[in-house]
Structure 1
Amino acid sequence: MEALPKLRALILKSNKFDGNMSLPSLSNLPFPELQVLDISENEFVGSLPQRYFKSFRAMMDVKENNTGLIFGEFWEMRITLKGQDQLLTRLLEAFTTIDLSSNNFSGSIPDCIGNLNSLRYLNLSHNNLMGHIPASLGNISVLESLDLSSNKLDGRIPSELTRLTFLAKLNLSMNNLVGQIPQSTQFSTFENDSYVGNLRLCGFPLTRKCNEKNEQRMRPEEEDKEEEYGFIDGFGWRSVVMGYGSGIIVGIGIGCCIIRFGYITFITF
């Protein structure tokens, strides 16, 4: 299929295709005109195909190209956009999408994906991707939907993503992200479900405040210190309290005997 230089839409979703898309090939510039790549819900493995991202010329600087209709109005294409299945009957020059979700891709998200500055929809969810979210995603200025949910991504959310002023849907849920959520006019429109499952994220719109989290992380350490300093000569404060309590009970018992009998001959415990 890489030998089809005019191919503009490749949809292979919901099959049982497998294999590694990062293996080398004889094509120097595969899929230069591709605008739609949807291979979701398959069984592809390995790292994300960097060589494809570097060759998708139709997803770079689209504004410099001529605009207009590519396919006739009776040509149909069903794809998922912003979490909703939609039926498209036309493919505009500026329409671009990559959906690699629900596969077994691993490794990190390559920085070169940020070169696709005319990409509008990106879905890499439900894979085994690791590492940080690349700051280069902030270069995709027309991006409208970004879904990286249900992976193993860690680190902080890059502040560069606040430059995505057209972003209408963001899903970073079910990862291992940490730190404060970046604040911007656009980010303030996203709700809790965009971040759920990241237990170490804090800040608006989450109810978990960053300063409160830091205090909570310090409390167990302070308790440990109190426990440590409470031991004196091998005896902890609990032992001391128990000793005092037993002494008081014995003292009261002896006092009662003295008052009742006037003397003490022998006490056995």
Structure 2
Amino acid sequence: MGMLSSLQSLHLGRNNLFGEIPASLQNCKELIALDISDNKFFGNVSMWIGERFTKMMILNLRSNKFHGFLPIELCRLTSVQILDLVDNDFFGSIPRCINNFTTMVTMSYSGVTEPSHNYLSGRILEIIGAILLVESIDFSINQLSGEILQNISRLTYLNHLSLSNNNLVGSIPLSTQLQGFDASSFTGNKLCGPPFPKSCTATVPIPDSKNAEEEEDVNKV
């Protein structure tokens, strides 16, 4: 396969392939699309994927057995439009340099139900709001924490969002498209505000007037 140096598209999804990604594949420098989803590949994602495939537009590693940290070299894929890492065993934080993906349309890092998850942690990065052309984001079933930052409302092309089943807290930023998503996009967190019926406004209990008067009399004594 490594001798196919002019190969631009490789689709091997939904087979029963296993093992690590062949190192000889890095000789296919012209690859634009690589789909090896729904197989049994394992191991770490090799650094050379980001170093060699600078023209890559589609990278689909969905539903395999990859594990470990996401290599920062992936951020060199500045032309990538679809990045699908769903249903593996990745862990660690999302690389901050994903703001290099200015042409990205689909970003999927989620896990699924047993037997396999991703375990990405940390906060939803502020720089995600810089990927202005993104249409789909799926970070569901990970271990992301903190608040949803306001700048995600800048993603005016966003038509699919799933942040469910993480450790997110606080209010959902007010913007037309975020409130337009179903509540299922945010369930399994500690979030409030539309589209949830639960308001984020803290309620302060009003003391009973009789008790308040008695307390005032005690203070005067």
Partner-residue secondary structure (3-state), 2:170: strand
How big is the shift at 1:101?
A: 0.4
Within the alignment, does 1:112 sit opposite 2:97 as a pair? yes
Aligned partner letter, 1:168: N
Q: Contact 1:162–1:183 (CA<8 Å) still a contact in 2?
A: yes
How big is the shift at 1:28?
A: 8.1
Within the alignment, does 1:102 sit opposite 2:126 as a pair? no
Within the alignment, does 1:203 sit opposite 2:193 as a pair? yes
Tell me what 2:43 maps to: 19
Question: When the two structures are superposed, what TM-score results if normalisation uses the length of structure 1?
Answer: 0.62
Aligned partner letter, 1:149: S
Tell me what 2:79 maps to: 58
Higher alpha-carbon Rg: 1
Question: When the two structures are superposed, what TM-score results if normalisation uses the length of structure 2?
Answer: 0.75
Aligned residues between the structures: 175
Q: Where does the alignment leave 5 or more consecutive residues of structure 1 unmatched?
A: 60-95, 219-269
Partner-residue secondary structure (3-state), 1:206: coil
Partner-residue secondary structure (3-state), 1:29: helix
Q: How does 1:86-235 map to 2 (within 5 A)?
A: 96-126=81-111, 127-198=118-189, 200-212=190-202
How big is the shift at 1:188?
A: 2.0
Q: Contact 1:30–1:52 (CA<8 Å) still a contact in 2?
A: no
How big is the shift at 1:38?
A: 0.4
Alignment partners' CA distance in 2, 1:186 and 1:2 = 40
Q: Where does the alignment leave 5 or more consecutive residues of structure 2 unmatched?
A: 1-24, 112-117, 206-221
CA 5–183 in structure 1, closer or farther in 2 if over 3 Å, else same: same
Alignment partners' CA distance in 1, 2:201 and 2:74 = 43
- Pick the structure with more helix per residue: 1
How big is the shift at 1:139?
A: 0.8
CA 32–208 in structure 1, closer or farther in 2 if over 3 Å, else same: same
Report the aligned-residue RMSD.
1.8
Tell me what 2:30 maps to: 6
Partner-residue secondary structure (3-state), 1:186: helix
Q: Contact 2:68–2:91 (CA<8 Å) still a contact in 1?
A: yes
Aligned partner letter, 1:19: G
- Runs of 4+ in structure 1 displaced over 4 angstroms? none
